[in-house]
Amino acid sequence: MERRRAILDTAEVLLVEQGYEAATLKAIGERAGIPVASVYHYFSDRHQVDAELLQGHMNEVDALVGAELEASGPQTLSDTADAVINPLLGYFRRHPGCVELWFKGRGEPLVELVRAFDEAQAERLRHLLVERGLVPADVPPLVLELAFEIGNRLFDVAFRRSPDGDDATIDEARRVVTAYLETYASDARRRG
């Protein structure tokens, strides 16, 4: 367990210091002082290391978003967008290794993890929005999945523009996602 943790910790450090391309299994083994053959004993390839690291980050992000949605009790679509965007942005700013995996690790395993995460978050958000009367009960799941896809793409742009996530791009993400969801807002909310 200690060696496995050392490999993951070292991979995270390399992601932060040198970026996604530099965090190879060879580099991880050398930096951790573990023979590369031993690294392969714990992880058959780099994708396994990346996936385990990203899954750990996603578990933390899921808990943060869930806690924010519970704590803030958003009453508008704009509040709801903020309740998702703020914890994501804060987490990405504190964990640049996660940004490397989420946006630069474009291998199929990581793309699938991000897609599954977004789908689960979209379903959670859809239930919350329907429960609060912000969107009608018949809003298609695709609508919330697309909102997450749009947000993801704009976060990618924000973190390419600045290592801390370009604030102007994040503000645009808030506007775009909110405006898109407002096209599906419940009639009662539109009138109110």
Average pLDDT, the chain: 92
Q: Give the list of residues 6+ apart from residue 64 with CB closer than 8 angstroms, or none.
A: 87, 88, 90, 91
Which residues are within 8 A (CB) of 10 and not within 5 positions of it... i.e. 6 or more apart?
28, 31, 32
The helix or strand, by DSSP H or E, that contains position 162, with its residue range, turns out to be none
Mean pLDDT of 134-159: 95
pLDDT of residue 105: 78
Say what percent of the chain tops pLDDT 70: 96
State residue 191's pLDDT score. 40
Task: Output the six-digit token pair for 15.
Answer: 């992601």
Residue of higher predicted confidence among 10 and 192: 10
Q: What is the pLDDT of residues 21-42, one digit of tens each?
A: 999 999 999 999 999 999 999 9
pLDDT at 187: 55
pLDDT at residue 192 is higher than 80? no
Contact 170, 85 (CB under 8 A): yes
Q: In this model, does residue 186 exceed pLDDT 80? A: no
Rounded CA separation 186/135 (Å): 5
Q: Does residue 181 surpass a pLDDT of 50?
A: yes
